């Protein structure tokens, strides 16, 4: 699947409104069934805007914080290449899966004043169990993620805490109707940050609680044409840093909603148009944020 976006951010506070705009990176992803396994591949091509000024950096930092899941997360990043392999086994109505993945993250210049920033690679392990009957599927997935050290001009500066993810899902698939709902909880352990020249663990867990819920309804009125509507809720509590710390993040919340259409163009191609609007607030309701995301993608089937 291929996708490229243009980003428009706007922030409203009691003192006024700030905005920023620019292209985002181009993303290419795909998946291949290999027997009882599924291989997925991902490439992020750095076509987006980087070297942000102060206003743009502040807005992008707010949007991307804690994977807040705004439709637009950030501007340009580096060349990222990743892949994952998942193995599945079915016994009657039950399905069991296990997998692993790795993403190599490339260097880029996030700010006009900071170049050669190298975010840490990511290693992920996953397990899952599902039960299916009468068109309904109930699932529980867990994952552990290890994020390596971030470096600036080769020097270590930060390392995100290990992450544990639990996701419950419920779906229904009929002849023309499909329903999907998920609830996800993310727990993050202690970060490591540069303190007096050494990369040390923090004294306490500091990432706050991360809760997400998502629902999607898809209808296929005609063969090859699917219309869909979706909504998402995200809530992040404040972290444990002192409010005077540059790493402090107050609570944040987002509601996102929208929909689109997917059209099968031929035997191997499908076109999807998707529009999502986001509304929410950052910094414990001190800043309102709105986003509008139009996404056009082409998917090839082999």
**CATH classification at residue 146:** 2.40.160.40
Beta-bridged to residue 211, according to DSSP, are 185, 235
Measured distance CA(74)–CA(108) in Å, rounded: 13
- Look at residue 5 and tell me whether its pLDDT is greater than 70: no
SS3 165: strand
Closest CA to 294 of 6, 1, 70: 6
- Look at residue 121 and tell me whether its pLDDT is greater than 90: yes
Exposed e or buried b per residue across 52-64, where buried means at least 16 C-beta atoms within 10 angstroms of its C-beta: beeebbbbbebbb
Q: Which run of H or of E encompasses 171?
A: strand 163-173
Cβ atoms of residues 199 and 161 within 8 Å:
no
- Look at residue 177 and tell me whether its pLDDT is greater than 80: yes
Measured distance CA(41)–CA(67) in Å, rounded: 21
Domain carrying residue 189? 2-300
| Cα angle: 180, vertex 278, 222; to 5 degrees | 40
- Look at residue 1 and tell me whether its pLDDT is greater than 70: no
Give mean pLDDT, residues 38-46.
Answer: 91
Provide the greatest CA pair distance for the chain. Answer: 64
- Look at residue 273 and tell me whether its pLDDT is greater than 70: yes
Measured distance CA(6)–CA(294) in Å, rounded: 8
Give mean pLDDT, residues 101-116.
Answer: 86
Tokens at 159, concatenated: 């390392």
Work out the pLDDT band at 109, boundaries 50, 70, 90: confident
Closest CA to 27 of 6, 57, 3, 62: 3
Q: What pLDDT, on the 0 to 100 scale, is given for residue 218?
A: 97
Residues above pLDDT 70, as percent of the chain: 87
Mean pLDDT check: name the lowest of 37-51, 198-212, 230-244.
198-212
Mean pLDDT check: name the lowest of 167-181, 194-208, 264-278.
194-208
- Look at residue 176 and tell me whether its pLDDT is greater than 80: yes
| pLDDT per residue as tens digits for the range 190-234 | 888 888 878 888 776 667 788 999 999 999 999 999 999 999 999
Average pLDDT in the chain: 85
- Look at residue 172 and tell me whether its pLDDT is greater than 90: yes
Give mean pLDDT, residues 159-165.
Answer: 89
**Domain count across the chain:** 1
Beta-bridged to residue 133, according to DSSP, are 136
Residues above pLDDT 90, as percent of the chain: 43
Cβ atoms of residues 101 and 83 within 8 Å:
yes
Kindly tell me the burial class for residue 69, based on how many C-beta atoms sit within 10 Å of its own C-beta (0-12, 13-18, 19 or more). Answer: buried
Q: What pLDDT, on the 0 to 100 scale, is given for residue 39?
A: 94
| Residue in the block written with tokens 């993403």 | 103
Cβ atoms of residues 145 and 165 within 8 Å:
yes
| Residue in the block written with tokens 């790493």 | 247
- Look at residue 180 and tell me whether its pLDDT is greater than 60: yes
Q: What pLDDT, on the 0 to 100 scale, is given for residue 84?
A: 96
Tokens at 281, concatenated: 């607030």
**Residues in the chain, total:** 302
| pLDDT per residue as tens digits for the range 59-85 | 766 666 545 555 455 677 889 999 999
Neighbour tally for 68: CB within 10 Å: 22
End-to-end CA distance of the chain: 12
Give mean pLDDT, residues 114-140.
Answer: 94
């Amino acid at each position: 699947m291929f996708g490229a976006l243009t980003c428009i951010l706007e922030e409203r506070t009691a003192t006024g409104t700030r905005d920023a705009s620019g292209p985002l990176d181009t993303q290419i992803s795909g998946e291949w069934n290999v027997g009882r396994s599924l291989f997925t591949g991902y490439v992020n091509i750095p076509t987006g805007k980087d070297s942000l000024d102060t206003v743009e950096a502040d807005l992008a930092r707010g949007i991307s914080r804690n994977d807040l899941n705004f439709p637009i997360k950030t501007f340009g990043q580096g060349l990222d290449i990743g892949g994952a392999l998942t193995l599945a086994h079915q016994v009657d109505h039950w399905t069991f899966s296990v997998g692993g993945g790795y993403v190599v993250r490339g260097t880029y210049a996030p700010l006009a004043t900071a170049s050669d920033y190298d975010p840490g690679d990511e290693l992920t392990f996953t397990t899952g169990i599902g039960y299916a009957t009468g068109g309904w599927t109930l699932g529980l997935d867990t994952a552990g993620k290890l994020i390596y050290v971030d470096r600036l001009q080769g020097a270590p500066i930060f390392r995100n805490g290990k992450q544990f993810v639990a996701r419950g899902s419920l779906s229904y698939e009929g002849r023309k109707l499909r329903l999907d709902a998920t609830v996800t909880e993310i727990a993050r352990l202690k970060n490591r940050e540069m303190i007096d020249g050494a990369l040390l663990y923090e004294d306490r867990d500091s990432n706050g609680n991360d809760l997400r819920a998502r629902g999607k309804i898809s209808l296929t009125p005609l063969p090859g044409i699917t219309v869909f509507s979706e909504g998402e809720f995200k809530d992040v509590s404040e972290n444990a840093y002192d409010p005077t710390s540059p790493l402090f993040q107050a609570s944040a919340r987002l509601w996102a909603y929208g929909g689109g259409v997917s059209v099968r163009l031929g035997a191997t191609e499908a076109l999807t148009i998707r529009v999502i609007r986001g509304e929410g607030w950052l910094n414990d309701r001190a800043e309102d944020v709105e986003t509008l995301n139009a996404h056009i993608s082409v998917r090839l089937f082999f």
